[in-house]
Amino acid sequence: MKVIKPIYDTIYKETKRSKAGKAKHSHWRNYDDLNEFFWSVDCFRLGWPMRINSEFFSVPLPQAQRGNNKEEESKSYSDERWMGKVNFVEIRSFWHVFRSFDRMWSFYILSLQAMVIIAWNDSGNLSNIFDGEVFKKVLSIFITAAILKLAQALLDIVLSWKARNVMSLHVKLRYIFKAISAAAWVVILPVTYAFSWKNPTGFGQTIKNWFGNGSGSPSMFILAVFIYLSPNILSALLFLFPFIRRYLERSNYGAVKLMMWWSQPRLFVGRGMQEGPISLFKYSTFWVLLILSKLAFSYYLEIKPLVSPTKAIMRARVSVYSWHEFFPHAKNNIGVVIAIWAPIMLVYFMDTQIWYAIYATIVGGIYGAFRRLGEIRTLELLRSRFDSIPGAFNARLIPLDQTEKKKKKGLKATFSRKFDQVSTDKEKEAARFAQLWNKIITSLREEDLIDNREMDLMLVPYWADRSLNLIQWPPFLLASKIPIAVSMAKDSYGKGQELEKRLSRDKYMKSAVQECYTSFRNIINFLVLGEREKIVMQNIFQRVDELIERGDLLKDLDLGALPDLYDRFVKLIECLLENKKELKDQIVILLLDMLEIVTRDIMDGDVEGLQDSSHGGALGKDERMTPLDQQYQFLGTLQFPVTTDTEAWSEKIKRLHLLLTVKESAMDVPSNLDAKRRISFFSNSLFMNMPSAPKVRNMLSFSVLTPYFDEPVLFSLEHLEEPNEDGVSILFYLQKIFPDEWKNFLQRFDCKSDEKLRGELEEELRLWASYRGQTLTKTVRGMMYFRQALELQAFLDMAKDEELMKGYKAAELESKENPTSERSLWTQCQSLADMKFTYVVSCQQYSSHKRSGDPRAKEILKLMTKYPSLRVAYIDEVEEPSKDSSRKIDKVYYSALAKAALPTKSIDSSEAVQNLDQVIYRIKLPGPAILGEGKPENQNHAIIFTRGEGLQTIDMNQDNYMEEAFKMRNLLQEFLKKHGGPRYPTILGLREHIFTGSVSSLAWFMSNQETSFVTIGQRLLANPLKVRFHYGHPDVFDRLFHLTRGGVSKASKVINLSEDIFAGFNSTLREGNVTHHEYIQVGKGRDVGLNQISMFEAKIANGNGEQTMSRDIYRLGHRFDFFRMLSVYFTTIGFYFSTLLTVLTVYVFLYGRLYLSLSGLEEGLNKIKAIRDNKALQIQLAPVFFTFSLGTKTHYYGRTLLHGGAQYRGTGRGFVVFHAKFADNYRLYSRSHFVKGIELVILLVVYHIFGHAYRGVVAYILITITIWFMAGTWLFAPFLFNPSGFEWQKILDDWTDWHKWISNRGGIGVPPEKSWESWWEKEFEHLEHSGMRGIATEIILALRFFIYQYGLVYHLSITDSHKSVLVYAISWMIIFLILGLMKGISVGRRRLSADFQLVFRLIEGSIFITFLAILIILIAVVKMTIKDLIICILAVMPTGWGMLLIAQACKPLIAKSGLWGSVRALARGYEVIMGLLLFTPVAFLAWFPFVSEFQTRMLFNQAFSRGLQISRILGGQKRDRANSKE
């Protein structure tokens, strides 16, 4: 209570100060601040044990200054004496992008300056740099570098100001000295540079005048530059020798600490992160090549082509303007130069992201080839290499015996990894392969990915038959081989060369023939008991064996009768398969027939032993008839029916039956796409480089942790059968999406009636549907495969030869027959699996669900019952009486771990009943556990219940596969390898497969996007770039490393919204190492609808906005070397900042063109031939393909950095079988896409009307078509990707709903979904917490909308000859007059419409008539045209929107003035207009039925390829209903 409680109370108070994350980060301390406080000696001032009345985070006041009143003292500490942030202050500003990555931006700016200088001189060739004058100009980049360094130093001081109170003296001195040093160099370098010129011009001459006109001396400037660069030279040397830098950063010697003090503050993180020399070389080479490509492209295609026209523009003189020009005498047409160069500069700073994507694809593909990815992509490739699969199984998944030597690794092994084919004498290896392979195939059957036939064709025998002395391949490889061989053998008498060639060429046909013959011989020897009969049979088989050995089988035997023998053999096998006593006589007859065919037709001669038998006359030379009873005497004693080892016998006979009877090729086995993919990937992974598997007893133990909140556990039957508005239920939808899996499910339970399905199979039906959704049940099933895999692997490790040959099924059956036996092999295997694997699901609300009777609690209990080793962690909130004398009831919180209680027997039944859970551990908490972000807090409270060295974090939308579970112990061995670097791994990254890709086109797009990132992307990040972090589950953590270094999740409110990646940041900063491994994969579900995807993108963009201002990104940007810093930037926040720059480029380009066309500069410059003929200006910017998600990323990333408002957005895990209403789409996309799309359309329309430069068709299309496409995408993509988005009835319903929503009044308690007013207020709620800086930025950005009005009013026909500023002033008067009339009408409606309705109508009529009269006069007298009316609308509408944005930013002032109601009314009018603009084209297209059909096919094209016909869903549902009524 004196340690944990005070710390918790401090955290709790800080979270209250955060106002649920809405307060500025600088106003409250997060978990990082509290943690880093203990990195300083200040923490010792708290005393030990800590005084309860001490303020945890502030420096306590001296004793003399303390008051007597403890409450006042506490208040003064918490408010007045709040000591500020620790080490770092998170402030919302785009300057963080420069501050954290200042070296990168400095490099780009200096490179740009150098390239412009070179291009500006003479021919612009790069060789000009060797010219003395040019080189001297290029040296001016060091002055720019000094200025940038000063900006960085000042930024550090400004942005760290609120941490000054807790900052130590040496850190303060470091900031001050850096600023002073930078300021000094800003003076020294320009002065020495000015004196290096004999006759400088401009500012250089001014400097010489200040410091005296001495003679020029370049050596002084060179010396200054050398001194200035000396720290950089030292850093470069240390970069080349990373082990020295690593030693210096870790050293505690005073001299070393003093030297390192200047380069970085002494913290417990960010030290010793250097990689080994090989890794350093690889990622340095990658970035050197990329930067060279980028700079060459920028110079030759962006900068150099613009220099010549820029010079011409600067020489040109434009005297006639189309508007009132405030700076008519400005030199060099500087406004035009800015308008032309600004978009190019943005492209220059952004296009590295494109080059990174290109290089990442190339290098990632090369790495994938080296790692042998994709070698087995199809089942055909698998069949061709299946003879190596058993060897690969044993080499990869079976521990090496001590006698076996490990194979050497080298370059040859990288390119060619071959495994020995399993030889026939390696019975143990074959048996192990059979156990593992069959476990995989049976799991596919249990998941309904294959049917019974396919399972039988893919299984190999569980019970090894030692007498066969050959490998028994799965029947799908041997299918149709025997019938083909029989057919070929029939005509092969005397000409068997063709069959011999086929057998030698087709190894599987040869194997099938050998197995059938050997099995036939074994079956006959097993059945026949009589001594004489055995002699006959032995003689026959001995003769055949001799012929085989000599190679004379086809020559000496007449195989023309082989089909008859084959038919009898098939009938014999069918009888044996039934194993019924009454079939014995029939078996005897079949055996006699077969004996006759062999001896009389095939061997065509006597068989030794037949003449001496009582039956010899019939089968010898004598043709006399013998009585029937004597015939039976020959085979009178048979070992039939079989009563011992029936399962092994049944399996052998069943397999033989398949080999004999399957006549069609099994090339399509399995037919399910997912089963094909899984088997192919698993087989391919066995040929990849992975550590050898240890024995289960020796492997690293691990836990799996899944955070769960309130997602679906198990779908209820009511939920599955509940139809949506189209009459489509989820169950019906799933049956159409997964038709083959539905058939397999019905076959598995032999279900042929709907009554059985809804009755005794209801639970199985719910499970089948839940396994195809994103439910907790699916996740738990997948993770529990780990335990099943470990059980089997433990059996293979521990089983003796005899037990191994019997198979694990025999051990499992024996354990079930003797459940009380604690020493049975299977019991030991289960115990060992439980020791090595733990699965904890952190069900945060399990306790409250139980108390409220929520069905989810019962379903979770069912999961614990089904999987006894499953553990559930939860937060238990109970009420207990207070321990003091107040008799109050306090809420007490516990972190609890529960399991399913042991089954108990009911009073009236002997059967076990399971209905309870049992608490294992119960830990009292100091208060509510969820103080920060919910998901990481949920993980952190449960991590204490995990065990082992490894910890895999698995999300609720993930799945696992049996075959992948077998490779887990291999993966854990990666923790024991250094992977070519100085450190062992701390996070093992895994590959993911998106299993929701087949649901719809959008899901497929999302799946491809995710797949490219989790394969090529993460592969490259881990190696060679060495900057892979943790991007979400299913990575495996070094549990002990992270438990002692901050856990696996950072949970501070808002700043750690993307909690996953911060775990990677934290691990790397604390000298961890993150790797990526692609030989193992985990299933992952993704959002499948546009709205869900957009909310996910918004969450990620918000998270990246928060990352931008985080201390982790700042430290990584400063502590990494230059090239790893580039990798961090372009793979984290740089992607989103580049996206923002991409969109900004379009706006800057269009607004620049708007300025040129409306001002008249474009028309004036086009009269100059040199500019008019220059093609570089015409195609300087052709924006590439823009996607819809570009708008989402840009909007939420930019808004988060400016104003905050980031929040976790639950995307849901449902199916896309619903139609999103128009109002829903409008609410979600209005500000992020619709407003920006309409703005782009207006810009394009205005430029089309007044532009002069791009009159050529090709040029105009190149410039504008992609922007039109982007605008159209932003406006209409939500409706295009909305199911049933163009159905007329839906359109009518949407319009009614939209009208109701837009008309409803808001108020307290009215949700945004019900009222436009509530939604509108919520949309700019973030501005209330933005601060002056954010509000000022918002106002400045809104001013751009006034450009339209200023430029367009001068293009009216009535103002053609007037360029006075009064024209603009009059336009504002007209706008205010219109707004005043609107306000007057609104007030009049409220005050007069009830009592003086007639008067109010007369006033309205008179206003309308007056307006009409003015319009007629303008048209008739002043000659106003339709074009003028359009221009007026284009001028006024953006101005009104800009005024709205400013009013929203200044809401407190507007509200005080009493005008807020008018602002709301104006905003409602704009929303109605935007809604009509969007709704009209959609409604028009809905008139045509083919549009809806096209949309449906486009949306669900992937599902169509798998048999789904969405167009028939409604019809099928209606037919089903009609049939049920009949």
- pLDDT tens by residue, 745-798: 999 998 888 888 888 889 999 999 999 888 999 999 999 999 999 999 999 999
Mean pLDDT of 124-141: 83
What value, to the nearest 5°, has the Cα angle with vertex 1087 and ends 1010 and 779?
90
> Is pLDDT of 361 > 50?
yes
Mean pLDDT of 879-901: 82
Out of 187-196, 706-715, 1426-1435, give the one with best mean pLDDT: 706-715
Out of 579-593, 652-666, 952-966, give the one with best mean pLDDT: 952-966
Of 585, 581, 550, 544, nearest in space to 565 by CA: 544
Convert the pLDDT of each residue in 69-84 to its tens digit: 444 444 444 444 677 7
Mean pLDDT in the chain?
81
Q: What is the pLDDT of residue 949?
A: 95
Q: Which two tokens stand for residue 929?
A: 């556990």
Cα–Cα distance measured from residue 368 to residue 126, given in angstroms and rounded to the nearest whole number = 37
Would you put residue 579 in left (φ > 0), alpha (ψ -120 to 50) or beta? left
Q: What is the band of 1505 on the pLDDT scale with cuts at 50, 70, 90?
A: very low
Q: What is the pLDDT of residue 680?
A: 92
Strand, coil or helix: what is 416?
coil
Q: What is the band of 822 on the pLDDT scale with cuts at 50, 70, 90?
A: low
Mean pLDDT of 911-935: 82
> Is pLDDT of 621 > 70?
no
**Amino acid found at 1429:** L
Q: What is the pLDDT of residue 1428?
A: 80
Cα–Cα distance measured from residue 1440 to residue 1348, given in angstroms and rounded to the nearest whole number = 11
**Which one is predicted more confidently, 96 or 1487?**
96
Residue with tokens 């044996």: 576
Q: What is the pLDDT of residue 1175?
A: 46
Mean pLDDT of 1254-1272: 72
Burial 802-829 (b: 16+ CB within 10 A, else e): ebbbbbbbbbbebbeeeeeeeebbbbbb
Convert the pLDDT of each residue in 1408-1442 to its tens digit: 787 778 777 777 766 777 888 888 888 889 999 99
Phi/psi at 345 (5° precision): -65, -40
Residue with tokens 């009589």: 530
Q: What is the pLDDT of residue 1272?
A: 87
> Is pLDDT of 985 > 80?
yes
3-state helix, strand, coil in the chain (%, to 5): 65, 5, 30
Query: 594 near 523, Cβ under 8 Å?
Result: no
Q: What is the pLDDT of residue 220?
A: 82
Q: What is the pLDDT of residue 1155?
A: 87
> Is pLDDT of 682 > 90?
yes
Burial 1269-1283 (b: 16+ CB within 10 A, else e): ebbebbbbbbbbbbb
Phi/psi at 235 (5° precision): -65, -40
Question: E-strand spans in 1052-1109?
Answer: 1074-1084
Q: What is the band of 1183 on the pLDDT scale with cuts at 50, 70, 90?
A: very low
> Is pLDDT of 1268 > 90?
no
Please state the pTM of the whole predicted model.
0.87
Query: 150 near 26, Cβ under 8 Å?
Result: no
Mean pLDDT of 1367-1394: 76
Q: What is the band of 36 on the pLDDT scale with cuts at 50, 70, 90?
A: confident
Query: 215 near 222, Cβ under 8 Å?
Result: no
> Is pLDDT of 424 > 80?
no
Q: What is the pLDDT of residue 84?
A: 77
Mean pLDDT of 1058-1070: 91
**Which one is predicted more confidently, 1116 or 615?**
1116
> Is pLDDT of 1507 > 90?
no
Q: What is the pLDDT of residue 911?
A: 52
The DSSP symbol for 316 reads: -
State the DSSP string of 733-746. Answer: HHHHHSHHHHHHHH
**Helix 254-263 and helix 242-250: axis angle, to 10°?**
110
Of 792, 766, 790, 771, nearest in space to 782 by CA: 771
> Is pLDDT of 50 > 60?
yes
Q: What is the pLDDT of residue 1509?
A: 43
> Is pLDDT of 408 > 70?
no
For the beta carbon of residue 444, count every other beta carbon within 10 angstroms: 23
**Range with lowest mean pLDDT among 55-69, 814-828, 963-977, 1066-1080:** 55-69
What value, to the nearest 5°, has the Cα angle with vertex 127 and ends 124 and 129?
85
Mean pLDDT of 1307-1312: 81
> Is pLDDT of 147 > 70?
yes
**Range with lowest mean pLDDT among 442-456, 916-930, 1184-1198:** 1184-1198
Q: What is the pLDDT of residue 355?
A: 93
Q: What is the band of 1192 on the pLDDT scale with cuts at 50, 70, 90?
A: confident
Q: What is the pLDDT of residue 104?
A: 95
Cα–Cα distance measured from residue 513 to residue 493, given in angstroms and rounded to the nearest whole number = 17
**Range with lowest mean pLDDT among 313-317, 470-474, 881-885, 1313-1317:** 881-885
Q: What is the band of 1000 on the pLDDT scale with cuts at 50, 70, 90?
A: low
Mean pLDDT of 1509-1514: 44
Mean pLDDT of 1032-1050: 89
For the beta carbon of residue 276, count every other beta carbon within 10 angstroms: 18
Would you put residue 1167 in left (φ > 0), alpha (ψ -120 to 50) or beta? alpha
Distances (CA, A) of 533 to 570, 611, 613, 1162, 1388: 21, 12, 8, 109, 117
**Helix 169-194 and helix 218-240: axis angle, to 10°?**
140
Mean pLDDT of 938-965: 92
Query: 737 near 998, Cβ under 8 Å?
Result: yes
Convert the pLDDT of each residue in 1472-1500 to its tens digit: 999 999 999 999 988 887 787 777 766 66
Q: What is the pLDDT of residue 507?
A: 83
